Chains A and B, each alone.
Chain A
Amino acid sequence: MYARPWARTAGAFALALAVLVAASGTVGNSAPAPQPRRGGSLNFIVSAEPPSFDGHRETTFAVIHPIRPHYNLLVKFDPFNYPKVVPDLAESWTVSEDGLTYTFRIRSGVRFHDGSLLTSRDVKASLDKIIFPPQGVVSARQAMYEMVESVSAPSPNTVVIRLKWPSATFLEKLASPFNWIYKADILERDPRWYERNVMGTGPFRFKEYVRGSHWEGVRFENYWKPGRPYLDGYRALFISSPAAQTAAIKFGQALVEFRGFAPAQRDEVVQFLGDRVTVQESGWLCNLLVVPNNQRKPFDDFRVRRALTLAIDRWGGSRALSQITFMGPVGGVMRPGGPFATPEAELTKLAGFGRDMEAARQEARRLLREAGVPEGFEFTVKNRNVPMPYIPGGVFLVDQWRQIGLNARHVIQETGPYLADLRAGNFDVGVDFTCDFFDDPDVQLAKFVSSDRSPLNYARYTDRLLDGLYRQQSRERNLQRRLQVVRQFERRVLSDRAYQFHLLWWQRIVPHWKRLQGYKVSPSHYLEDLEEVWLSE
């Protein structure tokens, strides 16, 4: 079945990155798989509150962690074997020869929390809401499904999705952890009902939500998967301050925070709890991005932008910042350690990714001189006032640029004005981020195509060659050839033109009480669903 004891799959998964570190420094997967135990309630921390209850419209983990356990998806990522896609409400599926038609067989006997039976009609209504949202309904990932022509439900247990063009990773996109399956009748009555209410087929029923305090779910006794969930219920505690989070874990008020801790928090927890705690780590599908305003002088000159990226000591920064923030791995456009990652030997050839900082900084100063930028040139670095990891990232950048004689001034704004300024081009250099649920060039590169084609590209440049490469890789079904195109794309964005460039990728650090079992950290903090999680003792 798809729910495997995690110890068996863990070894096979090593290649796909996830470094597993036990608190004591020994890897603990040699022990025989313990028998899952039923019962108990899990308390975990969520560091932000959900803006609404509707996964289709939101983009934050604050919606996933407390609410996702109330729902099922059509297909999902294997919680123990990312990025394998496994069935959820779809029992099985077939893909036509030309890659244009996906036919899903829907599980029968699945009940909603109100007792009614789920049919293909519910699946179709939910997917339609995501892909073709009606007037007045917000769908955050609509653009991701632009290749979808139609969704139909020819029989109560069949759903057919037709595409306009083949997409190599359509199934993974469909497995988006935000694609919760709702009830068609409710959507018909009010497509916005789910923004304020909960009613799904998931392993847990909704119990209560106290704003600013907690979200609570209890086991759904009629859940379709036999023997699941193991937990009687869960309570998501909303705690935003890192110090308070650490305290709550230390004193057992919560067993885990699923998003990821900073190293200091991890160390404190481990020091305090000793062998009662396990630390799981993994590369993280998130990064910080440096965005020069390509339309503003002197950043319209590619030599200046190149000097900016050359000045950044990423390898040294990785060592230092990984002690105080959850930033760490050095990488290009694709996640280091991920299936599309650029090998280090090739990465170090890109401007700013080399290991010889002396030479890089000399080159940077030469480029600045050539471009006529005077010593002590002052400009602003615009950042958002989110303490982790944006502000330490900004402080690091300012220091790096001081070392090539640039006087960068760090301007920290609240998220609202910050976003408005970035979108309006009202900045010199900005600090941006990306976070995704899945390693896929379609997703990760979308931010870098020309500004007029990508509304998320704040760097304000147009490069049709780049747009062409994006299109080319997206439709390339041969993995090796696709990789080559992605490399080309990367070289052009980060190095040759230095339109915008990565600072560092993030490292996901999840310390949790050993009592918490059946959980495996993955490169995305959007995938938790609590179906397999159980508590020992």
Chain B
Amino acid sequence: MWVALSRPRPRGRLSRFARRYPVAVAAAAFLALLGVAALFAPWIAPYDPLANDYLSMFSPPGPKHWLGTDSFGRDILSRLIFGSRTALLVGLSSSVIGATVGAVVGVASAYFGGTVDLVIQRVTDILVSFPLIVLAMAMVAILGSGTANLVAAIALSFAPRAELVVRSSALQVRHTTYVEAARAVGAGPWRIILRHMLPNVMAPYLVMLTAFLGQAILLEASLSFLGLGVAEPTPAWGLMLSGAAVDFVQKAPWMAVFPGLAITLTVLAFNVLGDALRDALDPKLRV
């Protein structure tokens, strides 16, 4: 199905997709906008997101600061714009890494079968029995703080979930004739896994990936809220919601409202897009 999407005459496919899923197109447009904002943040943002300005602490939204300022007098709009970098960076990289690690392990597990499969499945079963946040917290505790470790922690929490889904698809591919044929001509296991099996589980992989994107952003926000994620003064949405935003919520509600809105809208866009993609890619799941 995925292959079909990237064949020639994509314009026809895409426009049909657009007509079927107008909301998804809107979501994609929003995300594109966000991507542009993240990419060109230094040129778009009206202020330096790190510059403390003690003369305009807690300014309410107004012509000077459209979305107000926070407890350090930093411009919230600028911090939201720069924060989109953190959100997209952490969201994208942890989802891609998590889904990919999960997919490779899942396919390998399906390919090798036997004891390897059994052990991997037992471990996966156990890992998916923890709520995501619990697993992610344990991972952060093990790996330590910092953005790179945060990405790793979230990715590792996702991997078992991706593994489960991809493995079941891979099992169906495993016994198809062309995989058997590849084996017969003496292709090595990793060659078969990478060249023949992985491309054929692309559909569930992509569906997982888009589902993870939203969750990763939420998870990053939750961890940062708990003080386990990105460190101040790095602009990050979850972080902007924690600490001062809660303490000063009565005095300066805009500090809590806008970052939360940014998270919600972005996750919403990813989810809508993901749903549409799942509909289009995986007709079995279509309802």
Contacts and interface: CB of A to CB of B under 8 A. Distances in A.
Contact of A399 (B50, B244, B248): B50
Contacts, number: 70
B233 A267 contact: no
Interface string B30-64: 00000000000000000000111010010000000
A391 interface: yes
B145 interface: yes
A324 B244 contact: yes
B18 to A, nearest CB: 43
Interface in A284-328: 316, 319-320, 323-324
B250 interface: yes
A323 B72 CA distance: 10
B97 to A, nearest CB: 22
B251 A395 contact: no
A410 B251 contact: no
B227 A320 contact: no
A255 B71 CA distance: 27
B118 interface: no
Contact of A324 (B57, B144, B249, B250): B57
Nearest to B250: A268
A461 to B, nearest CB: 27
Which label, helix, strand, loop or mixed, suits the secondary structure of the B interface? loop
B146 A395 contact: no
Contacts of A323: 57
Contacts of A412: 145, 227, 231-232
A242 interface: yes
Contact of A264 (B51, B228, B247): B247
Contact of A395 (B144, B232, B242): B232
Interface residues of A, number: 29
B145 A414 contact: yes
B72 A395 contact: yes
Q: Is the interface of A mostly helix, strand, loop or mixed?
A: helix
Contacts of A241: 246
Nearest to B227: A385
B59 to A, nearest CB: 13
B243 interface: yes
Given A268-B251, A319-B54, A412-B145, A398 B233 contact: yes
A387 B242 CA distance: 9
Nearest to A418: B145
B51 A385 contact: no
Nearest to A416: B141
Contacts of B54: 316, 319-320
B219 to A, nearest CB: 18
Nearest to B71: A324
B248 A264 contact: yes
A402 interface: yes
Contacts of A316: 54
A267 B243 CA distance: 17
Interface string A369-398: 000000000000000010100011011101
A117 interface: no
Given A392-B71, A412-B145, A413-B145, 11 more contacts: A242-B246, A267-B251, A324-B71, A324-B248, A385-B227, A387-B242, A395-B52, A398-B233, A399-B50, A410-B231, A412-B227
Q: Which 9 pairs across A and B sit closest by C-beta, in order of nearness?
A: A320-B54, A412-B231, A385-B227, A399-B52, A324-B71, A387-B243, A395-B233, A243-B246, A242-B247
21 contacts: A242-B246, A243-B249, A264-B248, A268-B251, A320-B57, A387-B242, A391-B232, A391-B243, A392-B71, A392-B72, A392-B244, A395-B52, A395-B72, A398-B50, A398-B233, A410-B231, A410-B232, A412-B145, A412-B231, A414-B141, A414-B228
